[in-house]
Every structure is written in C-alpha cells, then in structure tokens.
Chains A and B, each alone.
Chain A
C-alpha cells in the first residue's frame, strides 16, 4: 500500500510579482471575453470568411497536445508500470486537466454561438471529425477530473470515495488513453478534409498519427519543463532519476517522430517545398529545427553529460516546436490558399493569454492547497 507524505506546500505564496501579473492578465482576459460575448467575433477578432480559424484554434490544438502529458503518464505508470513516474503523475494529470479546461474556455469563446456549446451533446453527426473530437474531449476531461479527484478528496478526508475511485482507476486510465488516442489523432484528422487548402508541407494522410505522436512527445516535454520550473518556483527537489528516465524516453520519441515526419515528407514528394523559402518553408524549418532536431541533439548529448540546462532548454524547444506545428497546420499552412494575411487581434491575444494566465494561477493555487507534489513510498 502506498502512503502519502505531504510536503510543506502551504508556504507557497499567493501574491508575488509574477502572480500579480498573472492575475492582471487573467482579469484582462475575463474582460475581453465578456466584450467578445457581447459584441461578437467580427469586432473582436481578425478572423474573416477567408480565415475562419485563427489563433484560438491554434492555441486549442496546442493546449490539447500539451495536455497529452496526462494520458502519457497515466499509461507509463498504470499500464507500463513504470512506478517511479508515479511521483510526477499528479502534476501531469493536473496539467492535463487545466489544459483541457483552458481548451474548453477558449472553445466556448471561439464558437460563434457560445451558449449552444451543449448542442453536440444532443445533436449528433457522427460523420464529423469535430463531433468525435468534441465527445472525446468531453469524456476525457471527465476522466481527468475523476483521476484528479482523489487529490481533492484526500484533503477533505473522504477516504471512502477515494477507495471507490481507486477501484476504478485502471478502467479509467484505459478509457483515458483510448479517448486521448482518438482525439489527439482526430485533431489531426480535422485537417484531412483540406487536401486542396492545406500547404503540402503539412497536408498528409498521416496527420492523425503525427498529431498523436507529437502529443506524446510534448507530454513528456511538459513534465520535464514543469519539473524544472516547479523546482525553481516552489523549491522542490528535482528527481534526477525521473528526469534522466524521461530524457531517454524523449530522445526515443523525438527521433522517432522526426524520422516519421521526414519519411512522410519525402514520400509525398513535398521535400522541395521545404527549401523554397517564403513563410511556409521558414515556418516549417523553424518547427523542425527548433522543435525537433536541436532538442534531439541536446537531449542525446545530455545523456552523457551531467548537466541539466540543455534538458530544460530542450523541453522548452519541444513545446515551442509543437505549438508552432499546430499553428502551422491551422493558420500558416492555410494562408496561401486564402490569399489573406492573418494576424491575431489584441483581443484574441488577451483572451488567449488570459486563459493561460488563469491556468497557471489555478495550478499555483491547487499545488498550494492540495497535495500535488506528493511523495510515494512503498509501505513494505
């Protein structure tokens, strides 16, 4: 049986310079969101008939990918039984949950008829990828919430309920993995219907696989990144064992993804586009070099050297790389066919930043009041 030692997280301060800025940004986001709801999308965004999807969708895609840490670590711990990662599981799940909640908030504001957000629950159209994504996301968010539940329940000492949840942990985890596999890939499938619109650098029938793959990849990077930052911010000891394990995984996944991507590009004859210059090829190169090649090299080297900076930097680069990828697929890759240059409006930025700031604040509050950075010991 596991026992849980609660570390002293009560000391995490709520009001620091950083958090005040976050609060300000979140407040700005809230005001912008209200404004957006009152006056509509046209007046608040730079979206148009030619660019129906913009920053928010790009961010949504990214958020889901980043939140891939949840299912990735659940799988590692419960299915593959890599016990040591249990230590970061809670953070992964919390990050996932907050990611999905942020995703939902943005989506709520993104759809033109926000207050019809519930329609897909009763109005079904199973031919739509988006329908599938919506359902998976809804269900998976529920799963994440349930997975996160014990942490809340602990605090209120509702051990009976905890027991019940523990009992269904494995089915829950499995459901989570299945749902995640489905929607992480389906977010890629969303773009399969655009063979004539999406730039050949990104359009591939393998988009769903690439999306899934990269979600796993960035999930790991997220946990690495979080471990480093939390250790700095919350003064928690960095578990080098876990980190080095994750790095090994990540090198493996990263290079796999990179090779997958290269083979796909070459196969489709899209290689020439990589070097033609221009916005698309530059963004593609950025995504690949910054997000994949450099991190692979850095992480690989770090396995032989005892230095943590490259690991931290790589994790950031991977995250940026995946966000870039999502933005490339949903915005940059569609620019040419739409003949329009899209750049998000201030409000689009305010809301996006506000939601992220809110997420970070929530993370801070939750780690302050709940036992997220727990330590697990074997009772035997």
Chain B
C-alpha cells in the first residue's frame, strides 16, 4: 500500500527538528553557512541536506504571517525523475518512496533537470559523485517505522500513513475548519499527484510554492513521444524502402529507356 505524508503548515513551528533528524538518520554532514539576514539555512537543498525549512514572511488579509515550509522530495506518484533516469537508478516503489540505486547511476543529472521541484542534488565536490535526495526513509518504512523527520516533529505538523488515509485526513481538516485552511491540497493533483501533501492557512503562492505546475504527470509528456518510436521505426522503414525502390526503379527505367533509344 502506498504511503504518504501530510504536511500541515498551520502546525509547523519552524523548529527544524526534521532538518536535523534527517541528517542524523541519513548520516549527512553539516554545511558551513553564513547568516543572510534570515533564519533560513542552509540556503538550498544539497547533497548533504535532504530537507529544509523555508522561512517566509508576508501579509494575508491584513494579518502578518511567518510561514515555515518544509521542503524535500515530494515522492511523486509518477515521478519525472524516475522516467528520466536512463539506467533505472531511480525507482518508484509500491510503498511510495522514490528510491535510488547508487550502483547504477552514471551521474547524467537528467533527473535533476526533470524534477519539477528541482529536488535531486549532486555530489559536485566528489570525483565519483552520486545523486542525493530525500529517500522517504525507505529503510525505516520497510521496517515499519515512520520516516525520521515525521517521527521527530514536535507539533505533529507531519503525519505519515497510508496515502488514502492521509488524503482523507487532509480533506477532513479542511472541511471541518474552513476558516483555518485554504481550500486546497497541494500535491493532490500537482504533476499527477505526489505522496507528500500540504495543507495551509496561507495561500500557497504567497508561501513560494510552485502553483503553476501542470496537473498532468510529467512522464506522460515524454512518454507520448517515446511511444511513437515503434511507429516511426516501422513507418520510416516502409517509407524509405518504398522511396528507395521507386528511385531505383526510375533509374533502371531511365537506363532501359536510354538503351532502348540508342538501340532503337
């Protein structure tokens, strides 16, 4: 059964327990950072940072807000990264996680480009680099544990469970608290749906979410042209042979005519 995580932004207190516990569980090194006039750090996801909280200040309905937004791989239902990966290093597992087989990866980074959320990162500073991203703690999930970040979240802003139940929970929360939540579940339809879902009290665009993403699963877009291959191969083979045959015939006919003429 596919799993999912519900991120309820109305509950996140920005404590970044998730950020640290992710590093702890996954054995990721710290980065050397500087203060850029905000609490947010490190500046971006990196090969040693699978998740981070974005801090966003703004105003909605004349009320000041300070939003904390957890970011990590969304574990798309039909992941662009998986379809992009030419060696099958990335895979969508039936339990939900998009996993990575480091033994296969050739480091082409097409997955990074393909990801609509720009999630996968690369070990740029290594001679033999790998792609890195949130694993959905697949190792924990398969042991019946919750992902490290979810487990650590003090304010229950993160909830892990069966995708269907999680989705219902999201709908329930919105329906029973229409004043508290924006009536939208981010990730329900984005790029064909993601295993991680977000609900919020502040409009998603103000929080810097990519709100323009297509609803269609991205792999469809390339798949559409890939499925044409057999037709192209078959079609071209026929057409080319036909053409060749015709031109050949023409030439032979021409030759014959020439000889006929000279004979005649």
Residues of A within 8 A of B (CB): 37-43, 47-50, 52-53, 78-81, 110-114, 116-117, 119-120, 123-132, 134, 170, 174, 177-178, 181-182, 185-186, 189-190, 192-197, 205, 208, 334, 337-338
Residue of B nearest to A133 (CB): B86
- Asked whether any CB of chain A lies closer than 8 Å to the CB of B233, the reply is yes
**Smallest CB–CB gap between B4 and chain A, Å?**
22
Q: Which residues of B contact A134 (CB under 8 A)?
A: 86
Q: Give B87's nearest chain A residue, CB to CB.
A: A123
Interface contact A192-B124, CB-CB below 8 Å: no
**Chain A proximity of B207: nearest CB distance (Å):** 17
Given B89, B106, B237, which contacts A174 in the complex, CB threshold below 8 Å?
B237
Q: A47 → chain B, closest Cβ, in Å? A: 7
A/B interface sample: 26 pairs, CB < 8 A: A40-B125, A40-B128, A41-B107, A42-B125, A49-B46, A50-B44, A52-B109, A52-B113, A53-B109, A53-B113, A81-B251, A111-B107, A111-B108, A112-B107, A112-B108, A112-B129, A112-B130, A113-B105, A123-B88, A130-B84, A130-B86, A178-B232, A182-B233, A193-B218, A337-B118, A338-B118
Which 10 residue pairs across A and B have the least CB separation, nearest first?
Answer: A112-B107, A42-B124, A125-B88, A81-B247, A131-B86, A52-B109, A52-B112, A123-B87, A130-B86, A112-B129
CA distance A88 to B114 in the complex (A): 39
Name the residue in A40, A52, A125, A338 with the highest tally of chain B Cβ atoms < 10 Å from its Cβ: A52
Q: Count residues of B near A (Cβ-Cβ below 8 Å).
A: 60
Given contacts A40-B124, A113-B128, contact A49 B118 (CB under 8 A): yes
Query: Which residue of the partner chain, among A48, A185, A195, contacts B225 with CB atoms under 8 Å?
Result: A185
Shortest Cβ distance from A116 into B: residue: B106
* Cβ–Cβ < 8 Å partners of A132 in chain B: 226, 229
Chain A residue at smallest Cβ distance from B191 = A196
In the complex, what's the smallest C-beta–C-beta distance from A282 to chain B, in angstroms?
23
CB distance B110 to A190 under 8 Å?
yes
Question: Contacts A112-B108, A128-B85, A193-B84 given; 4 further ones with Cβ under 8 A?
Answer: A125-B85, A125-B86, A127-B223, A196-B116
Interface residues of B in 163-181 (CB under 8 A from A): none
Contact of B93 with A by CB under 8 A: no
A193 to B76, CA, bound (A): 14
Q: Is B126 an interface residue, CB under 8 A from the partner?
A: yes
Q: Which of A40, A193, A334 contacts B219 (CB 8 A)?
A: A193
**Residues B83 and A193 in contact, CB atoms below 8 Å apart:** yes
Task: Give which listed residue, B46, B108, B127, B240, contacts A178 with CB less than 8 A.
Answer: B240
- On whether A128 and B86 interact (CB within 8 A), knowing A48-B124, A192-B222, A193-B222, the answer reads yes
Q: 1/0 per position for B28-57, CB-CB distance to A under 8 A?
A: 000000000000000011110000000000
Q: Which one of B46, B47, B221 contacts A193 once the chains associate, using CB atoms below 8 Å?
A: B221
Please give, as numbers and ranges, the residues of chain A lying within 8 Å of B114 by CB-CB distance: 193-194
CA distance A47 to B125 in the complex (A): 11
Q: Is chain A's binding surface mostly helix, strand, loop or mixed?
A: helix
The answer to the question of B210 belonging to the interface, with a C-beta cut-off of 8 Å to chain A, is: yes
- Chain B residue numbers with a CB within 8 Å of A177 are 236, 240
Q: Which of B95-141 contact A (CB under 8 A)?
A: 104-110, 112-114, 116, 118, 121-130
The residues of B that contact A195 with a CB separation of less than 8 Å are 214, 218, 221
A113-B106, A197-B116 known; A174 and B244 CB under 8 Å?
Answer: yes
Q: Mark B197-219, 1 if CB is under 8 A from A, else 0.
A: 00000000000001011100011
B56 to chain A, nearest CB (A): 15
Report if B241 contacts A (CB, 8 A). yes
Q: Which residues of B contact A127 (CB under 8 A)?
A: 82-83, 219, 222-223, 226
Closest to A75 in B: B240
Given contacts A127-B219, A128-B110, contact A40 B127 (CB under 8 A): yes
Residues of A close to B124: CB separation below 8 A: 40-42, 47-49
Residues of B within 8 A of A79 (CB): 240, 243-244, 247
Shortest CB–CB separation between residue A87 and chain B, in angstroms?
Answer: 18
Contact check, B229 vs A113: say whether CB atoms are below 8 A apart. no
Contacts of B106 in A (CB 8 A): 111-113, 116-117, 119-120
Taking a contact as CB atoms under 8 Å apart, the answer to whether A194 and B113 are in contact is yes
Contacts of B236 in A (CB 8 A): 174, 177-178, 181
Q: CB within 8 A of A186: which of B87, B219, B225?
A: B225
List of B residues within 8 angstroms of A125 by Cβ: 85-88
Nearest CB of chain A from residue B100's CB, rounded to whole Å: 13
Looking at the complex, which one of B108, B243, B248 makes contact with A130 (CB distance below 8 Å)?
B108
**Within the complex, what minimum Cβ distance (angstroms) separates B104 from chain A?**
5
Chain A residues contacting B45 (CB-CB under 8 Å) are 49
Residues A129 and B222 in contact in the complex (CB < 8 Å), given A119-B104, A174-B244, A181-B232:
yes
Binary contact track B244-263/A, C-beta < 8 Å → 1, others 0? 10011011000000000000
Q: Kindly state whether residue B22 has any CB partner on chain A within 8 Å.
A: no
Decide if B80 is an interface residue (CB 8 Å cutoff): yes
Residues of A within 8 A of B110 (CB): 53, 128, 130, 190
- In the bound complex, residues from chain B placing their C-beta under 8 Å from that of A110 are 108
CB-nearest residue of chain B to A340: B44
Q: Which residues of A contact B127 (CB under 8 A)?
A: 37-40
Chain A residue with minimal CB distance to B117? Answer: A196
- CB B263 to nearest CB in A, in angstroms, measures 15
Contact: A52 with B122, CB < 8 Å? yes
Separation in Å of the A38 CB from the closest CB of chain B?
6
Q: Taking the nearest CB of chain B, how far is it from the CB of A328, in angstroms?
A: 15
CB distance from B224 to the nearest CB of A (A): 8
| Contacting residues, chain A, for B222 (C-beta < 8 A) | 127-129, 189-190, 192-193
The residue that A196 contacts in the complex, of B122, B213, B240, B247, with Cβ under 8 A, is: B213
